Amino acid sequence: MTGAISSMETIFVQIASYRDKELPRTIESCLERARHPERLSFGICWQYDEATMLDLDSWIDDARFRIETFHYRESRGCCWARHLTNRLYRDETYTLQIDAHMRFAPGWDERCIAMLRSIDHDKPILTTYPSPYRVIDGRDHLTTDRGLQRLKLAKLRRNLTAVQSTIPVEDADKPGKSPLLAAGMIFTLGRFCREVEYDPHLYFEGEEMSLAARAFSWGYNFYYPVEDLLWHQYNHDMPLHWTDHQSTHKSLNREALDRYRRLLLGRHDELGPYGLGPLRTLEAFEAYAGVNFRQRANQPRTPVHFRQVIQMNTRRIPLRDDYLYWVFCLLDEDGDEIYRCDIKDERILRQRTNRVEIDTRLPDRPESYLLWPYSQETGYGPRVVYPLDS
């Protein structure tokens, strides 16, 4: 995909933002660091709350901005929101999909285009997990010494959702092949928004693997960038959809995982426009990404009689005198819940003891445990997970 950069080329920036106080600073960074901000347009699904409801006032009347606006209680999750940003595409040359908490390098727009054009492929995607940034005393601190990274598959769970991570790249002279993609940084041709339109019925789990399989089946290949042009805030205190939507998120996720399994286990034709594309097969994607979905889905479990006294690590649980209960769960190797109880013992809630005794049959061997306190005044507190042997 070589050739000179045209003065008429435009970039469609997609942002799904959920109660995110960083959104206006992300937009400011995107515009201020672009060489040609006049060639940018924005598609934003803005899920606001009372604290953020004025955050987009500066851009509401800006012709470059197309904004779908919802109170956060109306939200149906991440993929639903990204689907709505896809629908705001208006034939721009390129698209950049990001999260609402990002920072940009100077001239990022021209540099992204030049990098994409350097790739000898008709449908390239630049993608990775960007280096982190932190906000300390109101100032941005960008990590610049991590080195270039490409994606890798860290784990494929039995339900076929993936854990992705990164490793240093060996060749930084030109963009190289990546087996997967990262939803928080996708730079590619604008028509991607129509060819691989997000399935609005997915929730969160499975987002990146399903998108990678569908994009590959439409002829796209994935490449890691050879410059740090974006930064991402990984550790933040922004609200999460599944903690706000306790009554609905589990049913949304069940429906989403059913669709996800249909996509990856041979029933993608049932998903209509959100199935696989016409150019390459699922088997070809499995070979490209180094996965075998059917083999992993059929891997047997190991039922056990679990009897153990667990010394819970409670260091990250705040001391309070109004806890109603702590959720305690045992998780299998995939992080799936295989046992749950609500701890109401006052000695534990007041952290006078940290011992809990479990004697039960389980469908699989547990690998970790989860603690999630609930107080009368503030609701759910931090959700912490530790290995059983810690």
- Strand pairing category for 230-232 and 131-136: parallel
Structural tokens at position 125: 């995607």
Task: Give 374's pLDDT tier (boundaries 50, 70, 90).
Answer: very high
Asked whether residue 315 falls in the same domain as residue 200, the answer is no
Asked whether residue 210 falls in the same domain as residue 355, the answer is no
Asked whether residue 21 falls in the same domain as residue 143, the answer is yes
Rounded to the nearest integer, the mean pLDDT of the chain is 94
Q: How far is CA 194 from CA 85, 180, 211, 263, 273, in A?
A: 11, 20, 13, 18, 10
* CA dihedral of 22, 184, 237, 46, whole degrees rounded to 10: 50
Domain count, the chain: 2
With beta carbons less than 8 A apart as the criterion, state whether 151 and 127 touch: yes
Asked whether residue 224 falls in the same domain as residue 94, the answer is yes
pLDDT tens digit string along 77-127? 999 999 999 999 999 999 999 999 999 999 999 999 999 999 999 999 999
Asked whether residue 117 falls in the same domain as residue 206, the answer is yes
User: Residues with Cβ < 8 Å from 84, sequence gap 6 or more?
Assistant: 16, 45, 68, 200
**Dist CA 11 CA 222 (whole Å):** 19
**Dist CA 341 CA 330 (whole Å):** 9
Asked whether residue 345 falls in the same domain as residue 201, the answer is no
* 92 DSSP 8-state letter: -
- The three-class DSSP label of residue 164 is strand
Could you list the residue range(s) of the whole structural domain that residue 332 is in?
304-387
pLDDT tens digit string along 174-208? 999 999 999 999 999 999 999 999 999 998 889 99
The confidence score (pLDDT) of residue 243 equals: 79
Give domain status of residue 104, yes or no: yes
Would the pLDDT of 390 be above 70? no
Could you identify the residue written with the tokens 């934003």? 44
Query: Do you know the residue count of the chain?
Result: 390
Task: Give 2's pLDDT tier (boundaries 50, 70, 90).
Answer: low
Asked whether residue 112 falls in the same domain as residue 218, the answer is yes
Give domain status of residue 280, yes or no: no
Identify the domain boundary among 205, 220, 241: 241
pLDDT tens digit string along 132-173? 999 999 899 999 999 999 999 999 999 999 999 999 998 888
**Dist CA 273 CA 342 (whole Å):** 42
- Give me the mean pLDDT over the 263-281 stretch: 96
In terms of Cα–Cα distance, which of 234, 13, 228 is closest to 105? 228
Give domain status of residue 248, yes or no: no
The confidence score (pLDDT) of residue 57 equals: 95
Identify the domain boundary among 241, 267, 293: 241
**For the chain, what percent of residues have pLDDT higher than 90?**
84
Would the pLDDT of 8 be above 90? no
Asked whether residue 95 falls in the same domain as residue 225, the answer is yes
Would the pLDDT of 60 be above 90? yes
- Strand pairing category for 149-156 and 162-168: antiparallel
**Dist CA 124 CA 46 (whole Å):** 28
Asked whether residue 363 falls in the same domain as residue 228, the answer is no
Asked whether residue 324 falls in the same domain as residue 230, the answer is no
In terms of Cα–Cα distance, which of 185, 186, 177 is closest to 131? 185
In terms of Cα–Cα distance, which of 355, 131, 347 is closest to 224? 131
pLDDT tens digit string along 216-259? 999 999 999 999 999 999 988 788 777 788 778 778 888 999 99
Asked whether residue 57 falls in the same domain as residue 167, the answer is yes
Give domain status of residue 267, yes or no: no
Chain centre to alpha carbon of residue 106? 25
Q: SS in 3 state form for 273-321?
A: HHCCCCCCCHHHHHHHHCCCHHHHHCCCCCCEEEEEEEECCCCCCCCCC
- Strand pairing category for 40-48 and 176-177: unpaired
The confidence score (pLDDT) of residue 3 equals: 61
Report the CATH number that the domain containing residue 127 is assigned in CATH. 3.90.550.10
The confidence score (pLDDT) of residue 360 equals: 96
Identify the domain boundary among 210, 241, 272: 241
Count other C-beta atoms under 10 Å from residue 386's C-beta. Answer: 16
**Dist CA 217 CA 208 (whole Å):** 14
The confidence score (pLDDT) of residue 47 equals: 96
Give domain status of residue 61, yes or no: yes
Give domain status of residue 289, yes or no: no
Q: How far is CA 19 from CA 71, 72, 178, 344, in A?
A: 9, 7, 31, 32
pLDDT tens digit string along 25-41? 999 999 999 999 999 99
**Dist CA 240 CA 70 (whole Å):** 16
Give domain status of residue 276, yes or no: no
Asked whether residue 213 falls in the same domain as residue 315, the answer is no
Give domain status of residue 233, yes or no: yes
